[in-house]
Structure 1
Amino acid sequence: MRTNAQTKLTNIVTGNVIILSDSLYPDAEHDWSAIVSSTKYALDGTMIVEQSVRQAGRPYVMQAPDGHGVLSRATVNALKSECDKLGATFWLDYLADGVVKRVKVMFDTTQEAINATPVKGSTSPKLTDYYNVTLKFLEIPST
């Protein structure tokens, strides 16, 4: 696991920091556009195009290839605890393009926000056991 405290999740209110693997990266980061368009036709057949800039809502699905973005069960438990806090917002810092990027996010609880599967099966997991994880966030305005 590559961890050097550059990829992390920080609760904005409490200041709690959870160190993540630097191998976690936004999946399909280029599949979202800040521009949204709507088209319709006028009675004379003219196409009307309206465009606007989205204010928020970009999905951040943080994952890594199996075995590369593993987190300990203790870290997964800490993430679950933060996810279960109503209205919690976070700074997500992650490595991309050779720099650390920072976005303000909240867990995407419209779906399964945390998916964690054990690297090795166990009938009695330990806090040091490793899990492959997928974390789902939504970007929110950083005002």
Structure 2
Amino acid sequence: MSITLAVGTTVVALSPDLYWSDENNWAPVEQTAQRTITGALIVSAATRQGGRPITLEPSDDESGWMTRAVIDQLRNWAAVAGQQMVLTLRGQDRTVIFRHHDGAGIEAHPVVHYSDVVDGDFYLATVRLMEI
């Protein structure tokens, strides 16, 4: 199944081999618990309104390759503060932004290093997004 990111009419196809590595590490409920000076327990809970992390990464060095042209487009979008995008993953559209507070929104390195890079060179990349 295809994975795409879109801003307006510009759509970038990501490798379908990327997997959502933190899909099961998020809960829709936020909760805090604290004790008062008397020892009573106060629990506050609410449904989260957004912020679900979506980290797309290759499972190994043999999968999830993307061209430099795709990486460059992602970096251009990541350079725009608060850039909203539409992620289509498993047939579902999600409005996302880059998760800059967790490091680089996109990390990429070449599969094979060439001194004279071209748009068709392949890269391994991790894309850190957040649903809003």
- Same fold at TM > 0.5: yes
Structure 2 gaps of 5+ residues are none
Instruction: Tell me what 1:10 maps to.
Output: 6
- Alignment partner for residue 21 of structure 1, among 15, 39, 55? 15
- Alignment partner for residue 52 of structure 1, among 46, 55, 65? 46
In 2, the alpha carbon distance for the partners of 1:44 and 1:77 equals 57
Equivalent residues of 1:103, 1:139 under 8 A apart: yes
Structure 1 gaps of 5+ residues are none
Equivalent residues of 2:64, 2:124 under 8 A apart: yes
In 2, the alpha carbon distance for the partners of 1:88 and 1:42 equals 42
Equivalent residues of 2:82, 2:98 under 8 A apart: no
1:113 positional shift: 0.7
Runs of 4+ displaced beyond 2 Å: 41-46
In 2, the alpha carbon distance for the partners of 1:53 and 1:46 equals 24
Instruction: Tell me what 2:108 maps to.
Output: 116
Deviations 1:1-30 (A, max 9, x none): xxx7x210011xx32101111111211211
Equivalent residues of 2:22, 2:53 under 8 A apart: no
Tell me the TM-score normalised to structure 1 length.
0.83
In 2, the alpha carbon distance for the partners of 1:42 and 1:86 equals 40
Range 34-43 or range 117-126, more displaced:
34-43
Give matches, 1:1-143, under 5 Å. 6-11=2-7, 14-65=8-59, 66-95=61-90, 100-110=91-101, 111-140=103-132
1:34 positional shift: 1.3
Equivalent residues of 1:115, 1:133 under 8 A apart: yes
Equivalent residues of 1:25, 1:94 under 8 A apart: no
1:44 positional shift: 4.2
Q: 1:87 to 1:42 in 2, by over 3 A?
A: closer
1:43 positional shift: 4.5
